[in-house]
Amino acid sequence: MLRIETSGPLCLVRILNRAFYRLAIDILGGLLDDQTRLDIGCDAGPRCGRGRGLTVRGAVSGEGEKDPLLTGVTDLVASAMDHPWSFSQISDALSADNSILVTRKSGQDSGENEPLEGLVLGRRLDFDLTEIDLVAVDPERRRLGIGGEVLTQFLSGEVAEGVVEVRLEMSSENVPARALYESKGFVVVGRRARYYPDGADALLFTWRAQTEN
């Protein structure tokens, strides 16, 4: 149920069973060289770059605070967001069977505790519909294209899975984030007035995959 192929700058892993999670982390930690490919019961899969990024689809195994991926996501979100999700909120999100997480690592350490510099976390709401919950980039690594890279990887992976629409919600005051989303083809389809505690409106965005006529 798992396929990993090492090639390219980012990494995509499909996990359809909790039992495969630790195996995937061990492999991505460096047990495979760049010419090695592992296929377990899956006839098609994306390409994956060694050590730079990770995409997880499906529930992450629950190891609490000992889980390096959960800790890395929590640390990045805490540093990157004014009103970050709590550890328990992120843990619950990653434990859901419909979760999708795309990350990019810093490249400073080859171990599993290597810090993250960007991520996108979302949920599959229907077979062709996904919602993005969190987009975060290390504050010290902004304006380097990392947000655009992980967002593009997220969208590409969802299209490969048959998704045709991706939704998200953001504060009207977050001008850089709005510019990023609009550069990727997201459009505003709604607004919730004074939705956030600071009085900012919530902008509702949607993105649709390009389909051939």
**59 confidence band (pLDDT: 50, 70, 90):** low
Structure token pair of residue 4: 């990993």
Residues in a beta bridge with 136: 119
Answer for the pair 140, 91: CB distance below 8 angstroms, yes or no.
no
Assign 3-class secondary structure to 25-60: HHHHHHHCCCCCEEEECCCCCCCECCCCEEEEECCC
Structure token pair of residue 88: 């328990």
**pTM of full prediction above 0.75:** no
Tell me the per-residue pLDDT of 176-207, one tens digit each, with 9 for 90 and over: 999 999 999 999 999 999 999 899 999 999 99
Q: How far apart are CA 24 and CA 4, in angstroms?
A: 8
**Longest Cα pair distance anywhere in the chain, in angstroms?**
53
Q: Which amino acid is at 201?
A: D
Structure token pair of residue 147: 């947000």
Q: Which amino acid is at 143?
A: R
**Is residue 74 exposed (0-12), middle (13-18) or buried (19+ Cβ within 10 Å)?**
buried
Q: Is the pLDDT of residue 116 over 50?
A: yes
Q: What's the confidence (pLDDT) of residue 17?
A: 37
Q: Which amino acid is at 89?
A: Q
Tell me the per-residue pLDDT of 155-166, one tens digit each, with 9 for 90 and over: 999 999 999 999
Mean pLDDT of 12-21: 38
Q: Is the pLDDT of residue 171 over 80?
A: yes
Greatest mean pLDDT range, 24-38, 97-111, 143-157:
143-157
